[in-house]
């Protein structure tokens, strides 16, 4: 399955590591992962903001699922989640290590059946959540 993975791309290195863990685990399950955090998709040419925007939308368009790690919430991630859910009707798994009080009402209040929000405490718990989500998605 082709999966678009998004998460913190700037700021705290620990949050970037969370995204990298999700990408690496999803790839280890045999999925194709479209993400800046994928070592298979590294670019040596810097992209303009417009090129990043167009590339990310194209990656979402070509995916069957979006996994978003939102522990270091960036506006970009919210735009990608909304685009996947409402423009493309793609299932979105949102993962976070935050206290639920830190999540926005717009996310928590979203009643789309395509959205699943899960909190995890460590890498093994994240892997279990991702694996279960992928199995359930393949059954539907």
CATH number for the domain that contains residue 28:
3.40.50.450
> 86: pLDDT confidence band, cut at 50, 70 and 90?
very high
Tell the residue number behind the tokens 């863990």, with chain if given: 21
Instruction: Tell me the pLDDT tens digit for each residue of 27-78.
Output: 999 999 999 888 777 767 888 999 999 999 999 999 999 999 998 877 889 9
Give the best-scoring range by mean pLDDT among 15-24, 72-81, 124-133.
Answer: 124-133
- Would you state the structure tokens that stand for residue 38, as one six-digit string? 């994928």
Q: Give the whole-number percent of the chain exceeding pLDDT 70.
A: 93
Mean pLDDT of the 95-112 span: 86
* 120 or 138, greater pLDDT: 120
Residue the block writes with tokens 């925007």? 53
CA 130 to chain CA centroid, nearest Å: 11
Contact in structure between 68 and 94 (CB atoms under 8 Å):
yes
Q: How far is 97 from 17, CA to CA, in rounded Å?
A: 13
Please tell me the distance from the alpha carbon of residue 65 to that of residue 122, in angstroms, as a whole number.
Answer: 22
Residue 26, number of CB atoms within 10 A of its CB: 23
Q: For residues 101 and 124, what is the distance between their CA atoms, to the nearest angstrom? A: 23
Range of the domain at 6: 2-139
Alpha carbons 46 and 133: distance in angstroms, whole number: 34
pLDDT at 30: 94
Neighbours of 36 (CB within 10 A): 20
Q: Is the pLDDT of residue 114 over 80?
A: yes
User: Please, which pLDDT band fits residue 103 given cuts at 50, 70 and 90?
Assistant: confident
- Our count of domains for the chain comes to 1
């Amino acid at each position: 399955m082709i999966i678009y993975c998004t998460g913190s791309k700037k700021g705290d290195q620990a949050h970037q590591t969370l995204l990298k863990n999700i990408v690496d685990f999803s790839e280890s399950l045999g999925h194709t992962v479209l993400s800046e955090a994928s070592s298979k998709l590294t670019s040596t040419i810097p992209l303009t903001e417009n090129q990043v925007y167009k590339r990310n939308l194209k990656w979402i368009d070509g995916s069957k699922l979006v996994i978003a790690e939102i522990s270091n919430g960036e506006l970009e991630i919210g735009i990608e989640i909304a685009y996947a859910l409402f423009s493309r009707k793609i299932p979105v798994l949102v993962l976070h290590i935050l206290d639920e009080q830190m999540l926005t009402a717009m996310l928590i209040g979203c009643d789309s059946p395509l959205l699943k929000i899960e909190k995890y405490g460590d890498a093994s718990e994240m892997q279990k959540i991702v694996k279960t989500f992928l199995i359930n998605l393949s059954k539907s």
